[in-house]
Amino acid sequence: MNGCRYMRIQGREDSWITGYPKGIFSICWRMIQDGIMQPEDEKSFREIDDWFKENLPEPEPCKNNEKVITFFKTGTTGEMQEKIASAVRILDKYSHPYDIVYTNAVGTIVYEDDWQIAVRVEDGKMV
């Protein structure tokens, strides 16, 4: 690994809530809502989403619809990265652009557990 503590898979379109690039889950849900995903890919994504809901706590700021973005912790995300790889393959299949961002430069951490952090966002920037 390159020494970075945090990783995020994000699209190139901004979230209307945060003004920051949408995360992979938001991108996939939008593709489902827009009728872009084929049924077998939707089923696969829903299984991925269910796994994350069952195995990771949902950050309180996310539940409250606060302006936050989340990052995975690189040191504890081996199994999660295996699971999320299937969602990345879905983005690839539909030629949906995304970036995998590795960083230590995050703003104010408002939530943290063993696997992830949530960072406050204002005007499309981490603060």
Question: Is position 117 within any domain?
Answer: yes
pLDDT one-digit tens code per residue, 78-102 = 778 888 999 999 999 999 999 999 9
Which are the contacts of 76, defined by CB distance < 8 A and separation ≥ 6? 114, 115
pLDDT at 20: 93
Question: Is position 95 within any domain?
Answer: yes
Per DSSP, what are the bridge partners of residue 73? 6
Q: Is the pTM of this model over 0.85?
A: yes
Question: Is position 1 within any domain?
Answer: no
CA distances to 23, 46, 47, 50, 101 from 12, in Å = 9, 22, 24, 25, 12
Choice between 82 and 121, residue whose per-residue pLDDT is larger: 121
pLDDT at 66: 86
For residue 82, the number of C-alpha atoms closer than 13 Å in the C-beta half-sphere is 4
The count of structural domains within the chain is 1
pLDDT one-digit tens code per residue, 55-71 = 888 888 888 888 999 99
In this structure, the strands spanning 6-14 and 68-73 are antiparallel
